[in-house]
């Protein structure tokens, strides 16, 4: 991993000094992230509302979500505080974080086989899954808000590579698709490092804390992370796996990780080692994503984004990850349950 980190540092240095500049994280972004990392009971609603009101785009985003099909009622909401009350403070902050980072990056050139909108939708799904995995009832020693941010930003390195080197990144996406491989494995062949490691270094330059940067850097290989961050990296890996299963958006991967394979599920003492608990939590997450996705991201679930489920390190075809048709909730639950009987 030391070699991969050195290469990532070199790539990140080249990116930050290139002609296409990545902007620094604005002060408003740091304030927003500080709020998002806290337990929702500790967040000052007035401070959040004041932050949103300074940016017409953020204000429009909250109002749009409050009046979306998922949250909307008979009466249209035009006031920010009423909108926050309707959708909930935590949901409002999460949605604003998604919008903020989407708008922060410079224009991303077209990459064949890779959709920026789908990538953000997949990252949102990972963030929602990660936050649920950090719920106190699962007894994880992590902050759900930090898990959400790490899940949301776990894929930002793909977008950064697409901005910096669209030709080679396009080659990675095409090779992952054609050979049914995970994208980060192909990136190792082409770049000598992964998008997660590159992203973690860029995020450090933005001033984000280690508790977010390090799990993003190691989510594809949690045991290689410093011990203090292995659990969080493992939870992000599991959330990434679940978001793939959900069929929300697409990450550029040519296949999916088998639901039993995430590192954290094989660690002693993990509450998710219990198959019944794991099945119930994953069903809950996937159904939540299915219901909210289109209203929050503009992307509906689509299982056809992926050719099947894999078991690392080599891909294998499986019907378990295919055919999760949007809206067919009973079938969805049955397919998830089937994964745990294998």
Q: What does the alpha-carbon distance between residue 273 and residue 255 come to, in Å, rounded to a whole number?
A: 24
264, 178 in Cβ contact below 8 A?
Answer: no
Contacts (Cβ under 8 Å, ≥6 apart) of 223? 230, 263
CA angle (101, 106, 107) in 5-degree steps:
110
Condensed to tens digits (0 to 9), the pLDDT of residues 128-171 reads: 999 999 998 998 989 999 999 999 999 999 999 999 899 999 99
Q: What does the alpha-carbon distance between residue 296 and residue 224 come to, in Å, rounded to a whole number?
A: 34
Helices and strands, counts by H and E, the chain: 16, 2
- Which of the 8 DSSP states describes residue 241? H
- How many CB atoms lie under 10 A from the CB of residue 274? 11
Collapse the DSSP code of 256 into the 3-class scheme (helix H, G, I; strand E, B; otherwise coil) and give the result: strand
Angle between helix 56-66 and 89-104 (nearest 10): 130
- How many CB atoms lie under 10 A from the CB of residue 24? 12
Q: Which of 191, 194, 188 is nearest to 165 (CA)?
A: 191
Angle between helix 183-190 and 166-178 (nearest 10): 130
- Preceding peptide of 313 cis, ω within 30°: yes
Q: Which of 225, 242, 243 is nearest to 234 (CA)?
A: 225
The CA-to-CA distance between both ends of the chain, in Å, stands at: 32
Q: What does the alpha-carbon distance between residue 258 and residue 315 come to, in Å, rounded to a whole number?
A: 10
Give pTM, 2 decimals: 0.86
pLDDT of residue 341: 54
Residue with tokens 């203090």: 228
Is the per-residue pLDDT at 235 higher than 60? Answer: yes
Average pLDDT along the chain: 85
pLDDT of residue 283: 92
Of the candidate ranges 41-45, 173-177, 310-314, the one whose mean pLDDT is the lowest: 310-314
Is the per-residue pLDDT at 314 higher than 50? Answer: no
Of the candidate ranges 136-145, 216-225, 288-297, 299-308, the one whose mean pLDDT is the lowest: 299-308
Q: Which of 149, 161, 131 is nearest to 216 (CA)?
A: 149
Calculate mean pLDDT across residues 211-222: 96
């Amino acid at each position: 991993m030391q070699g991969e980190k050195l290469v990532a540092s070199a790539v990140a240095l080249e990116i930050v000094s290139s002609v296409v500049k990545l902007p620094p994280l604005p002060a408003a972004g740091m304030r927003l992230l500080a709020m998002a990392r806290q337990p929702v009971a500790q967040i000052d609603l007035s401070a959040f509302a004041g932050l949103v009101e300074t940016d017409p785009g953020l204000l429009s985003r909250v109002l749009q979500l409050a009046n979306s099909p998922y949250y909307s009622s008979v009466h249209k909401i035009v006031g920010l505080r009423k909108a926050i009350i309707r959708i909930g403070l935590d949901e409002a902050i999460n949605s604003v974080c998604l919008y903020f980072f989407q708008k922060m990056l410079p224009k991303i050139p077209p990459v064949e086989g890779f959709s920026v909108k789908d990538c953000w939708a997949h990252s949102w799904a990972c963030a929602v899954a990660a936050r649920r995995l950090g719920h106190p009832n699962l007894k994880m020693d992590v902050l759900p808000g930090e898990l959400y941010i790490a899940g949301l930003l776990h894929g930002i390195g793909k977008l950064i590579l697409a901005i910096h080197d669209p030709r080679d990144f396009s080659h990675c996406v095409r090779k992952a698709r054609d050979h049914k491989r995970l994208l980060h494995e192909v990136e190792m062949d082409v770049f000598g490092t992964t998008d997660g490691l590159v992203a973690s270094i860029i995020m450090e330059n933005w001033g984000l804390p280690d508790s977010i940067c390090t799990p993003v850097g190691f989510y594809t290989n949690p045991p290689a992370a410093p011990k203090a961050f292995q659990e969080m990296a493992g939870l992000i890996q599991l959330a990434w796996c679940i978001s793939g299963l959900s069929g929300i958006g697409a990450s550029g991967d040519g296949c999916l990780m088998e639901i039993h394979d995430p590192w954290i599920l094989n660690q002693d003492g993990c509450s998710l080692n219990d198959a019944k608990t794991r099945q119930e939590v994953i069903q809950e997450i996937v159904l939540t994503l299915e219901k909210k996705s289109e209203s929050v991201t503009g992307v509906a679930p689509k299982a056809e984004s992926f050719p099947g489920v894999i078991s690392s390190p080599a891909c294998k075809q499986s019907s378990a990850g295919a055919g999760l048709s949007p809206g067919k909730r009973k079938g969805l639950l049955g397919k998830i349950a089937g994964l745990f009987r294998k």
